[in-house]
Amino acid sequence: MSSLIARTLTALLWLIVITVISNIVKQLFFRDPHRPPVVWHWFPLIGSTVDYGQDPYRFFFKCREKYGDFFTFGLLGMKVTVYLGAKGNNFILNGKLKDLNAEEVYGPLTVPVFGRGVVYDVDNARFMDQKRLLKEGFTSTNLRAYVPQFIKETEQYINTNATFQGNDGGVCDISTVLSEISLYAAAGSLQGKEVRDSFDSSFATYYRHLDDGFAPVNFMFPWLPTPVNRRRDRAQKMMAKLYMDIIQRRRASGNGDGSHDMLWALMDGRYKDGTPLADEEIANLMIALLMGGQHNTAASGTWIMLHLAHRPHLVEELYQEQLRVLGDDDQAPTYETLQELTLHNNVIKETLRLHSPIHSIMRKVKRPMPIPETGVVVPAGHILLAAPGVPSRCEEFFPEPLAWNPHRWDKPDEAEQQQQQQQEQQQWLDGKVEDHDTVDYGYGAVSSKAVYSPYLPFGAGRHRCVGETFAYAQLGAILATVVRLLQWEQVDPQAPVPATDYSVSAIYGCCMHEAFSKALAQGQLSPESSEIRESVVVPAN
């Protein structure tokens, strides 16, 4: 028996050695000039998984310097072709359905979490129609109604959370605080009063179990009968039932108070063929919306707090801006006055530029795709990857690109460009697009030129995020409220801002975003005076 085991292990070892040697020989002597260059690697199955997973941007820039704007690397047995820059964004994000497919990439991960009949469990035409219906919840009229809810939830959290009480201060986990605030704010606005009132310990547990379902292993093996996946499946059923019960009660009682939340928008909506949405579809879309939007705001809000903690003078600048625009520190902003808080908006833009919610957007190649003017063809079966955050980190577009500097947006050219983009986004949501260079993927005309912008925190093209203006409004309202009620600074002025921990990233394919990363940090709270505005001191990890 022992000799059999020894022979088996020896054979396995030789197989590995032969595989590695064959892989090396293939890379050295059998390069195909008509295929993208392959990133050097030792083991075919592993490829560059570790380098990419540890820091995607470092990996992208290192490979770009060596191979150019497009290259192929191995990711857990898959061949992933990256195409960087504006041309790459256009090649992938404006790609045709017959060439590229997102459902095959993201479906295995998202369907068990979001549920059947929505997002990547349906064909692209149906998903685009669902995005059209979701877009109805992000009009200017609805955003005006959402902003007071954002502010109310943030104020209530600060006024009731034990961390922010007393005169002796305390320690808080910044990522947890922003995660909870953004979750309550999203629920209190988009999700509706009944959903917000259902936020008890069991709902929070279901949400966490669903979130755990986005474990990296489920990107490849979502069917594994692990405890995490069993909890994920049960949580999906329970949360969907909660939504469907609310829907049934609403249908029975009617919308007497004229509420403007997403649940009513979906209940009243119909697909283009006239078919109403099934209750299960509405419930699963609401789950997707809650999870996607909450993660974006929580991650971005955490980065905002961390950067401002290292620059307390900017916190004071933000407070003084509110006094100038709003008149006094008891006046909460409205949707309109949020637009006038220029520095607040610049803080959000700069954070999204440096810490984009999206670092990778993937598509399955369905048929060979020639890269224009290169003679290179991306084979069918490859995964194409766009990285819209790369131009945001390039010196040619943003001087000192890795420095977090909200005042860079004070420059007229950059500020006007961003203001124009936001205006175009809101016009699109309100159905007033006037750009002649547009394409309608099924949820309203979008600009085909947007992919060439160096600032794309919410993507572009067919899968452009429909919740972009909602995210700006929510982040703006939360930031303005925190600035009005609190002060915070770094306990160690010399400590750097924590680096991004990409090991806690999750690859999402929902309508809100497709990949995100977040910072983890704790904060120490200590009052500075008897005024409402207290001092939060945030130490780095």
Question: Are the C-beta atoms of 389 and 359 separated by less than 8 Å?
Answer: yes
Residue 22 shares a structural domain with residue 168: no
* Rounded percentage of the chain residues whose pLDDT exceeds 90: 47
For helices 174-186 and 279-309, what crossing angle results, to 10°?
A: 140
In a domain, 340, yes or no: yes
Q: What is the CATH number of the domain that holds 213?
A: 1.10.630.10
Bridge-based pairing state of the strands 486-489 and 534-537: parallel
pLDDT band at residue 174, thresholds of 50, 70 and 90?
confident
Higher pLDDT, 235 or 417: 235
Confidence (pLDDT) at 381:
94
Same domain, 205 and 353: yes
Residue 111 shares a structural domain with residue 24: no
Q: Give the integer Cα–Cα distance in Å for 444 and 129.
A: 9
Note whether 390 and 505 are same-domain residues. Answer: yes
Q: Which residues contact 320 (CB under 8 A, 6 or more apart)?
A: none
Question: Which range scores top for mean pLDDT: 164-178, 371-385, 478-492?
Answer: 371-385
**298-318 residue pLDDT tens:** 889 999 999 998 888 999 999
3-state SS, residue 96: coil
Task: Please tell me the distance from the alpha carbon of residue 192 to that of residue 182, in angstroms, as a whole number.
Answer: 14
List the structure tokens of 444.
């309203």
Q: Kindly state whether residue 59 falls inside one of the protein's structural domains.
A: no
Query: Using 50, 70 and 90 to split pLDDT, how confident is the model at 175?
Result: confident
pLDDT in the model for residue 441: 63
Average pLDDT over residues 314-324: 94
3-state secondary structure of 511: coil
Report in angstroms the alpha-carbon separations of 197 from 157, 176, 192, 200, 409. Answer: 15, 20, 9, 8, 39
Beta strands in 95-214 (DSSP E): 100-101, 170-173
Q: How far, in Å, CA of 53 to CA of 73, rounded?
A: 12
Tell me: pLDDT of 540 over 80.
no
Task: Give CA angle at 508 (60, 69), nearest 5°.
Answer: 20
Reference 354, options 311, 408, 310; nearest CA is 408
Q: 228, 270, 455, 241: which is closest to 350 by C-alpha?
A: 455
Binding residues: 465
Are 5 and 142 part of one and the same domain? no
Contact present, 298 and 182 (Cβ < 8 Å): yes
pLDDT band at 336 (very low <50, low <70, confident <90, very high): very high
Q: Which residues are annotated as a binding site for heme?
A: 465
Strand (E) or helix (H) holding 367: none
Distance of alpha carbon 377 from alpha carbon 145, whole angstroms: 49
Looking at the domain assignment, is residue 76 inside a domain? no
Rounded to two decimals, the pTM is 0.86
Backbone angles phi, psi at 34, to 5 degrees: -100, 5
Q: Are residues 358 and 462 in the same domain?
A: yes
- The verdict on 396 and 484 lying in the same domain is yes
Same domain, residue pair 370 and 254: yes
DSSP per-residue string spanning 223-277: T---HHHHHHHHHHHHHHHHHHHHHHHHHHH--TT----HHHHHHH-B-TTSPBP
For residue 33, pLDDT over 50 is answered with yes
Residue range 36-56: mean pLDDT, rounded: 89
pLDDT score at 512: 33
Residues 23 and 139 in one domain: no
Same domain for 292 and 405, yes or no, is: yes
Cβ–Cβ under 8 Å, residues 513 and 361: no
Residue 36 lies in a domain: no
In a domain, 84, yes or no: no
Q: Give tens-digit pLDDT for 184-231.
A: 888 888 888 888 888 766 787 888 899 888 887 888 888 889 999 999
Range of the domain at 3: 1-30
- Domain match, 153 and 288 both: yes
Q: What is the pLDDT of residues 487-523, one digit of tens each?
A: 877 767 778 888 887 765 434 333 333 333 334 344 4
- What is the overall mean pLDDT for the chain? 83
Predicted pLDDT of residue 382: 96
In a domain, 187, yes or no: yes
Note the pLDDT tens digit of each residue in 425-437.
Answer: 545 445 554 555 6
The residues near 311 (Cβ < 8 Å, ≥ 6 apart) are none
Domain count for the chain, please give it: 2
Tell me, yes or no, whether 333 lies in a domain.
yes
Q: Report how many helices (DSSP H) and strands (DSSP E) the chain contains, helices first.
A: 18, 15
Three-state SS sequence of 319-354 = HHHHHHHHCCCCCCCCHHHHHHCHHHHHHHHHHHHH
Instruction: Check whether residue 394 and residue 304 sit in a common domain.
Output: yes
Residue with tokens 């606005």: 189
